[in-house]
Amino acid sequence: MLKTKDILDEKNKILRTISKEVEFPLTEEDKKNIDLMVEYLTNSQIDELAAKYMLRPGMGMAAIQIGIPKRYITIVHEVEEGVFDTYVVINPKIVSSSKEKIYVEDGEGCLSVNRETFGIIPRYARVTVEGYDIDGNKISIRAREELAIVFQHEIDHLNGIIFVDHIDPKNPYKYKDIYRAI
Cα Dmax for the chain: 48
| 169 Rama sector, left if φ>0, alpha if ψ -120 to 50, beta otherwise | alpha
Distances (CA, A) of 63 to 19, 27, 60: 9, 14, 10
Which residues fall within 8 angstroms of residue 138, CB to CB, at 6 or more apart?
A: 130, 131, 132
Residue 48 annotated as catalytic: no
Q: Which of 21, 78, 130, 154 is catalytic?
A: 154
* Helix, strand, coil shares, percent, the chain, to 5: 30, 25, 45
Query: Could you give the residue numbers annotated as active site?
Result: 154
